């Protein structure tokens, strides 16, 4: 049985999907909190929100949910889902929506985890530091080959999946 998690919100499912696809939308956290407090199926939840957005935003969503003690069980459930997804990402294959800004954020996070500066990464790639800066800020339109090369320097693989 499918649960109507939007029962007290004056928004259609289409509007909710649009808001949850845009983590910068002013109502993103309101809708995300409702989604994760009312749905217990990762498959259903991730039809509304991308896994990479969930992973980036879960800590903030969790803080909002912790204000309601009734949601303790849901928080534990989604924490486990978050940890599983993080392990998937850490396994070497990164799955993100092909959005230049989302990829740029992940690239910056991986570079920082490796302890590289932009200059270090640029040297390994044979480019100038300003190019790395443009890629990380989402201002550079890069090819799949460039993306593969950058992530291989960071010991990661890219997986492009058409949905």
The number of angstroms, rounded, from the C-alpha of 37 to the middle of its chain's C-alpha atoms is 19
35: CB partners within 8 A, 6+ apart: 5, 16, 20, 45, 48, 49
Is pTM beyond 0.75? Reply is no
Rounded distance between C-alpha atoms, residue 57 and residue 32, angstroms: 9
* Per-residue model confidence (pLDDT) at position 92: 56
Quick: pLDDT tens for 39-54: 888 888 998 998 888 9
Q: Does domain 98-158 have CATH number 3.30.750.24?
A: no
Q: How much helix, strand and coil, in percent to the nearest 5, is found in the chain?
A: 65, 0, 35
Assign 1 a pLDDT band (cuts: 50, 70, 90).
very low
Rounded distance between C-alpha atoms, residue 58 and residue 53, angstroms: 8
* Per-residue model confidence (pLDDT) at position 85: 86
Quick: pLDDT tens for 105-162: 888 888 999 999 999 999 998 889 998 888 888 777 777 888 888 888 888 877 776 6
Which residue intervals of the chain bear CATH 1.10.260.40?
A: 98-158
Segment 52-74 mean pLDDT = 91
* Residue length of the chain: 163
* Per-residue model confidence (pLDDT) at position 36: 94
């Amino acid at each position: 049985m499918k649960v109507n998690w939007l029962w007290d919100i004056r928004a259609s499912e289409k509007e909710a999907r649009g808001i949850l696809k845009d983590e910068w939308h002013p109502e993103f956290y309101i809708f995300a909190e409702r989604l994760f407090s009312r749905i217990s199926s990762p498959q259903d939840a991730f039809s509304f929100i991308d896994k990479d957005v969930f992973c980036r935003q879960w800590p903030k969503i969790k803080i909002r949910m912790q204000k309601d003690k009734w949601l303790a069980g849901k928080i534990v459930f989604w924490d486990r889902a978050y940890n599983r997804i993080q392990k998937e990402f850490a396994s070497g294959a990164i799955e993100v929506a092909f959005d230049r800004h989302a990829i740029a954020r992940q690239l910056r996070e991986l570079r920082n985890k490796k302890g590289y500066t932009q200059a270090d990464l640029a040297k390994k790639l044979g480019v100038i530091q300003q190019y790395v800066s443009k890629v990380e800020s989402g201002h550079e339109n890069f090819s799949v080959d460039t993306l593969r090369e950058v992530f291989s320097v960071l010991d990661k693989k890219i997986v492009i999946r058409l949905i």
